[in-house]
Amino acid sequence: MGEISCSNGIGNGNGVNGKTHSSLNGYRKSCWYEEEIEENLRWCFALNSILHTGASRYQDIALLDTKPFGKALIIDGKLQSAEVDEFIYHESLVHPALLHHSSPKTVFIMGGGEGSTAREILRHKTAVKVVMCDIDEEVVDFCKAYLAVNREAFCDPRLEVIINDARAELEIGKECYDVIIGDLADPIEGGPCYKLYTKSFYEHTVKPKLNRGGIFVTQAGPAGIFSHTEVFSCICNTLKQVFKYVVPYSAHIPSFADTWGWVMASDTPLTLSADELDSRIKQRVQGENRYLDGKTFSSASTLSKAVRKSLDNETHVYTEGTARFIYGHGSVQKQNQA
């Protein structure tokens, strides 16, 4: 559950300026974003302003200018990415899969309307065609308009943007891909994405659309010492039922207030060393990664003893009837605070 809490004098609507002012009538004027991570745990940070709020057919959308993390994209009251540290998430999501592939030319993104995943893929010299399929046109248009960092990616002729349900698009399309990336919203109860984390989807829709030697990778929710059992462990176990080789890995995302998880899967071994990854980065990737290199991935894929044990003992398989969800369902609202 996400809330934008504003003291007296902070207006509402689009383009609100929430800059801190001096005290007036006993109130300190300020604006905060607050997200309930667990029932008894909330995460909040100060805002400079609310840049935009709106609602599409599928989701509530907000763009906030935060003091600690810069511009932050909020969907259904859940922080999706923040300007200061989104590179950690998107480099971790994209580069391990593309680097482990021998020559990734075609890539399909499920979701990714923000454009950051496409941006990182397009840095790869081997990329010939990138298809970004997001169900929510308003989110895509919103991000095009407000996230300047990705405008170049949206203009790249190698990128094709399709507005559709990713499952439907994969099922009706005839093309197969070298890499398929799940950059979907978290599985939230009542949300549009949880069906795209199921065994049947991975087995009957994703895997048949991978070329020989193809790799699938998905974001897999919180992966912290206490939070990884929400969805990370069962997504990992579910992919083990479908693919021969599965590699879970994680990284700390400061704006998420947690360690985050991804799972990479293939029927081809995923065994590159740190030196081999560094060599491929140097040969294939334009510009310099800010976060990920060979040693970083080796560290990210070496999970803690407690998490490894939990993943080894996980038996739950993600299906539509036995879905697991991360905590809460967000909304954006305002209130006065003393």
Please report, for residues 43, 60, 74, 330, the alpha-carbon distance to residue 1 in angstroms, rounded to integers and kept in the order given. 10, 12, 11, 4
Catalytic residue flag (residue 183): yes
| Cβ neighbourhood burial of 145 (10 Å; 0-12, 13-18, 19+) | exposed
Q: What does residue 175 show for φ and ψ, rounded to 5 degrees? A: -80, 145
- Compute the distance between CA of residue 189 and CA of residue 253 in angstroms, rounded to an integer: 23
Beta-carbon neighbour count of residue 153 at 10 Å? 22
| Cβ neighbourhood burial of 174 (10 Å; 0-12, 13-18, 19+) | exposed
> Does residue 15 come out as left (phi exceeding 0), alpha (psi in the -120 to 50 range) or beta?
left
Of 86, 84, 69, which Cα lies nearest the Cα of 35? 69
- Compute the distance between CA of residue 264 and CA of residue 206 in angstroms, rounded to an integer: 13
Alpha helices in the chain (DSSP H): 86-100, 116-121, 137-146, 151-155, 166-172, 199-201, 232-240, 274-284, 294-300, 305-313
**Catalytic residue selected from 183, 278, 293, 312:** 183
3-state helix vs strand vs coil in the chain, percent to 5? 30, 30, 40
Catalytic site residues?
A: 183
